[in-house]
Amino acid sequence: MSEPIYRRIDESLAAMGGEGFARAFLDLAERSGARQVMIFDVTPDRALCLMSRNYSAGRMGEALARRYLDGWFREDPLLPELMALPEGALALRRVDGAALEASPDYRALFFARPGLGGKLALLAAGRRRRLIVNFYHGAGEAGAIDEGLAQLAGRLALMHFDGQGAGEAPVPPALAALSGRERETCLGILSGKKAETIAGEIGVRASTVATYRKRAYDKLGIASRAALFAICRQG
């Protein structure tokens, strides 16, 4: 493991429980080789997106978040195992999208249509939360994701989010890794404000707000307002 990886691990540990954790964690997760990383807090009754970061040119978060959060999480073949894990336990699972024991619609929605071959999923059971930390890859890229790094990253995510509890945060966790202006822009959109209003509030031009929105969406792996609302829903 190279020195930059150690540095990112140290940065993640140092930021544990604070606002800087998301950026440190996602810098570390990028080294896993995944195209998209998403963290879901799941129960049998609801799913929340705690983190989303796109590392490729695709809009994978768009395809992965909206329908999963709107009820398809109940069809996730990993859900029973996650619910059965004892507190503090982790389980690492490689998922082949084409061979997954799930309905054809599920495989199409979450693997074929986004152009994904599968994922490395880290199931983590905490005292307050149960997380699925997904490291998605393209077809033929399964071996590119570092299992050891994925497991370490999942443990860090569990420590951070389980320590926060399941209460509603002032800022949706999925936006935590954005820059300040990107986050303000997304919060304005979530509040139903137009670009001109957001621009006046943060002291920039409306065209600059559009730039912040594009940068934020690119980082999250989404392309629409509806997807932003989906990944920011907290209850």
Cα–Cα distance between 54 and 61 in angstroms, integer?
7
- pLDDT, position 43: 94
Q: Letter for the amino acid at 158?
A: L
pLDDT over 90, % of the chain:
66
Strands 90-96 and 47-54: what pairing? unpaired
Asked if 174 and 28 touch (Cβ cutoff 8 Å), the reply is no
Q: What is the pLDDT of residue 66?
A: 82
Selection from 101-115, 140-154, 183-197 with the highest mean pLDDT: 183-197
pLDDT level of residue 142 (50, 70, 90 thresholds): low
Helices (DSSP H) in the chain: which residue ranges?
Answer: 3-14, 21-30, 60-69, 79-84, 104-107, 147-164, 180-190, 195-202, 206-220, 225-232
For 132, the 3-state DSSP assignment is strand
* Domains of the chain from N-terminus onward: 3-164 (3.30.450.80), 178-232 (1.10.10.10)
Mean pLDDT of the chain: 90
The per-residue pLDDT for range 14-43, each reduced to its tens digit, is 999 888 999 999 999 988 888 899 999 999
Can you read off the two tokens belonging to residue 40? 């879901």
Q: What is the pLDDT of residue 160?
A: 95
Task: Indicate the pTM of the whole model.
Answer: 0.90
Give the confidence band of 145 by pLDDT, cuts at 50, 70, 90: confident
> What is the rounded average pLDDT of the residues 126-146?
87
Residue 48 is predicted with a pLDDT of 93
Least confident of 24-33, 49-58, 89-98: 49-58
**Is-contact 7 15, C-beta < 8 A?**
no
User: Based on C-alpha coordinates, what's the Rg of the chain?
Assistant: 17
pLDDT of residue 169: 60
Question: Is the confidence at residue 82, as pLDDT, over 80?
Answer: yes
DSSP secondary structure string for all residues of 133-147: EEEEE-TT-GGGS-H
Average pLDDT score over residue span 114-130: 92
